[in-house]
Structure 1
Amino acid sequence: MPKKFDEKPLRQSPCVCTNLKMASRVATRGYDQALEELGINITQYSILVNVLRYQPISQMRLAEHLDAERTTLYRALDILENRGLLKTTASGQGLTKVIELTVQGKELTMKAQKKWSAVQSRFIKEYGADKWNQLSSLLEDLRDLFKEAL
């Protein structure tokens, strides 16, 4: 008789990191689907919208703001620059580069903001604004706690 598998009930993991990553993957898929027709994903949108918001901004400051590994961010920036969505220029201060959106990048970001906003609004409507505000605050506390622990 073949051995049975997949019969044990699955329980929620007690691991903070696992639960955060699981929630992140599900949320990411929702935003990625909304942005797919524009040819970008939520990670790229996050970069573009923050460059738009703070431009000109140095690569290092953007990495700090997004809590992103610099090398990972720099690779993502290269992809966006190769697509003509942003440009990097030397800052004149050592190796520091400054990022700005191109006209094409700004146009795409504005279109993407509408798609992002639709997903965000739908989530807040279904989840509840008060719960979202509490969750947002808790996530900020978690980030701060883990930064301090490192």
Structure 2
Amino acid sequence: MSFSACSADICADARTLTMSIIRYSLDHEYVRQGSAGIAIIGISAWASNMLGAIMSVQLSTVGTIIKAGETIAILESTKAVSEVFTPLSGEIITVNPLVLEHPEFINEDPLNKGWLCQLTRINATELMQLLDEDSYAQYCTNFTALR
């Protein structure tokens, strides 16, 4: 998912809600570290706001081996149909069944109820290349200043 700018308010809200174990891609996907080396993937609050009300979700299949940059979900919203790309390589071990029935969870609570999938066998180097919450907030602030 790629956008050209982000609202400082939404990025600040995400920063307040998150813990230091969350990292972000430049395309506004997040990776939240779960237990036992599991990575939980979703879209940031800013991205969900930019999409508008999400009406339907398609998720990749459990067991799929994916590489960073590949599509893990398709989100249909009131504004667009958007692909979500994984920022990490790994194996999809779980998809979130709640967002299939309640896509609005992605808008309402993207970091908790609105996650998309869980990966295992992740690449630690790829994870460390993602932005920490402070860097992501600065990234959003810089885009906002350019508007």
What TM-score, normalized to structure 1? 0.27
More strand by share: 2
More helix by share: 1
Q: Which has the higher contact order (CA 8 A, sep 6+)?
A: 2
Flag the structure with larger Rg: 1
TM-score using structure 2 length: 0.27
